[in-house]
Structure 1
Amino acid sequence: MTPSQNRPVRVLVVDDSALVRKLLMDGFSRNGIEVVGQASDPYRARDLLVELKPDVMTLDVEMPRMDGVTFLKHFMPAMPTPTVMISSLTQEGKRITLEALEAGAVDIIPKPGSGVVDDLPLMLDEISRRVREAARVDVSRFGRMGSAPIERVAANLDETTDKLIAIGSSTGGVEALNHIIPAFPANSCGIVVVQHMPAGVTAKFAERLNGLSAMRVKEAEDGDRVMTGLVLIAPGGMKHMTIVRSGGEYRVQLKEGAEVNFSRPAIDVLFNSVAKAAGGNVAAAVLTGMGRDGAAGLLAIRHAGGRTVVQDEATCVVYGMPKAAHDMGAAELVAPLEKIPAFLSRATKRN
C-alpha cells in the first residue's frame, strides 16, 4: 500500500550508529518525511515493522547480531516493505549490492565511508527524494515468493547469521586445546581462540593442532574470515585479536593496544568484540588458566544472548579464569574438559 497524497511518507530508520540515525531523522524531518521509528539492530526493526507498518524502511548493512541484507531476505517475504539500503558497503559493483537488490531493496545509497558528520548532511535532500520515490514502489511480489507467517520471523532471524565459537585459555591451555580442538568435526562453525603464548610460538602451535584436527587450524592474520571448518589462533605478541562483522561475514582484526589483564592478546578483548559482533550467534568457553582474563568478556557474551561454559576445577591445571567467570555469573554451565566440545557444537548447531 503506497502513501496517499495528503499525508507524509512514513519511514523507519534502521542503523547501528546513533549519529547516523540522528542525521537521517533530522534530514527527513526537514524534508517533510515523518520518522515513525528508529532501530539499532534487525531484531528491534522487526518489532517496529510489525507494529508501525511504515511506508519505507532505510536499512544499513553492517549491524550487530545480523547484517541488513540477511534481515531483508527473511523479512521481505513475510511483510513486504519498500526498503532503501544506506551503507558504506553498498558500493556499485559489490556483491553485497546485488544481494540487496535480489532480496528486495528498491534503492541503494552509498553512505560516506568517512567524514559522516560533514558529508552525510549534504546528501539528505537527495536521500529524502529517493525515499519518497521508494514509498511508491509496489514490493508485494516479494510476499508472493513464499511468505512466512509474521510470528515465525523471530525464530527465523536467530537461524540466519553465521554461528561462531570463541575459546580462551592460559596455563594448561595448550594441552586442553590439544584435547578438544580435534574433537570438533570438519564442518563445525568457525572457531576463534586466544591462548596466552609468547610471540613466535602460536604459528607452530597452530600447525601442530592442524595435523591433529579435522578442522583446518592456522594462526590468525588481519582480515581473515571466520568460516566453517576453520580454527583461528590469535598470534602471540603485541596485538589483540578482535572480531568484526563485515556485511554478512565475520572478520579478524589485529589491533595494537595495551595489555589487558596482563595479557596481549587478551581473552576479554576477543570476547567483548565477539559479543558485539555476533550476539546470540556465539558459544564461548573459558578453559584452564591463572587470573581472571575472559571472565568479563564471557559475561558480555552471555548478556548478548550467547551460550557460555567454563571448564570444571577437576580437569583444570589452574582453576583461576574459569572460577572468576563462574563467580560473576558468566557461565551457564561448568563442565569437564571432555564435555565442552559437545556443548559448544550443540549450542551453535543450525536447526
Structure 2
Amino acid sequence: MKKIKVLLVDDSAVMRQVLVALLEREPDMQVLGTASDPLFALDKMARDWPDVIVLDVEMPRMDGITFLKKIMAERPTPVVICSSLTEQGAETTLQALAAGAVEIITKPRVGLKQFLKDSSAALVGAVRAAAQARVGRLTARAPLPVPPRLGADAMAEPPGSQAMVQTTDHIVAIGTSTGGTQALERVLTALPRVCPGLVIVQHMPEKFTASFAARLNQLCRLEVREARHQDRVLPGLALIAPGGRHMQLRRSGAYYQVEVLDGPPVNRHKPSVDVLFRSVAKFAGKNATGIIMTGMGDDGARGLKEMAQAGSETLAQDEASCVVFGMPREAIALGAVERVVSLERIPAEIMRHAARR
C-alpha cells in the first residue's frame, strides 16, 4: 500500500509531537518529518517532497500564508491548515484557504490531550481528503473510531408532500466541502446583485464561517453573511450555515426563513448538507435549485435526491473543475442529479433557473 507522505510544520514542539503520534498510527500514512518554521520545511522538502503538508499559519521567520503561496506557485501541493480556534485566527486561516489550502482543522491553545481524543478522526480524514485533492485546479485498516454515522433523520423528517405549490420565490441551496471555499468565491462573485436567495452549507469549523462570509461579502455584489436563526431568505442575499450548527429552510407565511439549530453531526458533519437539502425539498420543492459541489464523502447526495423527487432542479459540479469529486460523484451515482456542469457555468445556471420561474 502506497503511504501518504506527510510533512508537519508547526512552531510548537508539543503540537508536533501530538500530530506525529496521531498520524503515525495510521497504516496508510508516513510522517516524512517535522519543521518548526517554513524555512526548515523547505530544506526538508528539497530532499523529499511530501504528498500533504499540515501547516500552522502563525510561525517565526516566514508566516504560513507566505509559505503556502510560495508552494502553490512553485509546486502545488495539498495543504491542511491546523489553526487555533480564535476569531482573529479565523481571518488569517481564511486567507490561507484563499491561497490554496484545502482543509481546516482547529487546534486548541491548551488541552492537547483532549484534542488528540476529540479531533484525531477529523485530522486523519482531512489528510486523506487532501491527498486526493487536485490542488492545481484551485488557481486496509479502518479509520480511527468515530461516533455513529447519523443520517438526516436525526434532524428532520422526510420531505413527504408538504412543499408548497410553485411560487415566484426561488431558493438556491448549495452544499460543498473540500475545495469549496475557493469554488464558492468564484460562484458568488460572478452573481449579480439581483439574484435568487441562496442558502449554503460549507463544511467548516465553528468560528470560521463568520469570517468566511464577511470576506465574501467584501468581494461580492450580493450580500453574504453567516446565517442567524429565523433570518429571512431574500433575493440578493446568501446565507452561510454557521460552523457547528445545522441550518434548515422553513416556510413562514408568505416567505422563507432559516432555522439555525444544534443537534448531532449528520454524516459526521455539522452543518450537514443533507439536513439543509432535505428541508429545502420539504418546504420549497419546485421552487428550488439544489447544487452539490466539490468535496469528499457523500454528504448531500441523499438530500439532493429528495430535492429532485420533490421537483427541484438539481445540478452537480463536474469532475474536471472539482478539487475532490467525491460529493458530486455520490449524488450522480444515486440518480440525484439532472445536469453536470463546470464551475464556471454554475452562476449562469443559477440565473437561468431563476428566470424561468
Could you tell me which amino acid in structure 2 is paired with residue 326 of structure 1? I
Alpha-carbon distance, 1:344 to partner: 1.9
Q: Are residues 1:277 and 2:278 paired? A: no
- Indicate the residue corresponding to 1:210 in structure 2: 217
1:124-273 equivalent positions in 2, closer than 5 A: 158=166, 160-237=167-244, 239-273=245-279
- Indicate the residue corresponding to 2:314 in structure 1: 308
Give the whole-Å Cα distance in 1 for the aligned partners of 2:216 and 2:222: 9
Give the whole-Å Cα distance in 2 for the aligned partners of 1:220 and 1:297: 20
Could you tell me which amino acid in structure 2 is paired with residue 240 of structure 1? H
Could you tell me which amino acid in structure 1 is paired with residue 320 of structure 2? A
Alpha-carbon distance, 1:343 to partner: 1.2
Q: Could you say what secondary structure the match of 1:348 adopts?
A: helix
Unaligned runs of 5+ in 2: 1-159
* RMSD (Å) for aligned C-alpha atoms: 1.4
Give the whole-Å Cα distance in 1 for the aligned partners of 2:310 and 2:332: 17
Unaligned runs of 5+ in 1: 1-39, 42-62, 67-157
- Paired residues, number: 198
Q: Could you say what secondary structure the match of 2:280 adopts?
A: helix
Give the whole-Å Cα distance in 1 for the aligned partners of 2:302 and 2:163: 19
Give the whole-Å Cα distance in 2 for the aligned partners of 1:217 and 1:223: 16
Q: Are residues 1:64 and 2:126 paired? A: no
Could you tell me which amino acid in structure 2 is paired with residue 341 of structure 1? P
Give the whole-Å Cα distance in 1 for the aligned partners of 2:241 and 2:321: 24
Asked if 2 retains the 8 angstrom alpha-carbon contact of 1:240 and 1:270, the reply is yes
Give the whole-Å Cα distance in 1 for the aligned partners of 2:351 and 2:306: 20
Q: Choose 1 or 2 for highest CA Rg.
A: 1
Asked if 2 retains the 8 angstrom alpha-carbon contact of 1:272 and 1:301, the reply is yes
Provide Cα deviations, 1:174-208, integer angstroms capped at 9, x if missing partner: 00001111111111010010000000000010011
Residue of 342, 345, 357 corresponding to 1:339: 345
Could you tell me which amino acid in structure 1 is paired with residue 301 of structure 2? A
Alpha-carbon distance, 1:161 to partner: 3.8
1:10-49 equivalent positions in 2, closer than 5 A: none
Tell me the TM-score normalized by structure 2. Answer: 0.54
Provide Cα deviations, 1:57-76, integer angstroms capped at 9, x if missing partner: xxxxxx6324xxxxxxxxxx
Q: Could you say what secondary structure the match of 1:226 adopts?
A: coil
Alpha-carbon distance, 1:350 to partner: 4.5
Give the whole-Å Cα distance in 2 for the aligned partners of 1:250 and 1:234: 15
Could you tell me which amino acid in structure 1 is paired with residue 183 of structure 2? A
- Indicate the residue corresponding to 2:13 in structure 1: none
Asked if 2 retains the 8 angstrom alpha-carbon contact of 1:281 and 1:348, the reply is no
- Indicate the residue corresponding to 2:6 in structure 1: none
Provide Cα deviations, 1:105-137, integer angstroms capped at 9, x if missing partner: xxxxxxxxxxxxxxxxxxxxxxxxxxxxxxxxx
Q: Percent identity?
A: 50
Asked if 2 retains the 8 angstrom alpha-carbon contact of 1:284 and 1:344, the reply is no
Asked if 2 retains the 8 angstrom alpha-carbon contact of 1:161 and 1:248, the reply is no
Residue of 262, 284, 298 corresponding to 1:292: 298
Give the whole-Å Cα distance in 2 for the aligned partners of 1:263 and 1:323: 18
Asked if 1 retains the 8 angstrom alpha-carbon contact of 2:163 and 2:310, the reply is no
Tell me the TM-score normalized by structure 1. Answer: 0.55
Give the whole-Å Cα distance in 1 for the aligned partners of 2:312 and 2:299: 18
Asked if 2 retains the 8 angstrom alpha-carbon contact of 1:279 and 1:305, the reply is yes
Q: Could you say what secondary structure the match of 1:330 adopts?
A: coil
- Indicate the residue corresponding to 1:99 in structure 2: none
Give the whole-Å Cα distance in 2 for the aligned partners of 1:210 and 1:350: 27
Asked if 1 retains the 8 angstrom alpha-carbon contact of 2:249 and 2:279, the reply is yes
Give the whole-Å Cα distance in 1 for the aligned partners of 2:312 and 2:351: 13
Alpha-carbon distance, 1:341 to partner: 1.4
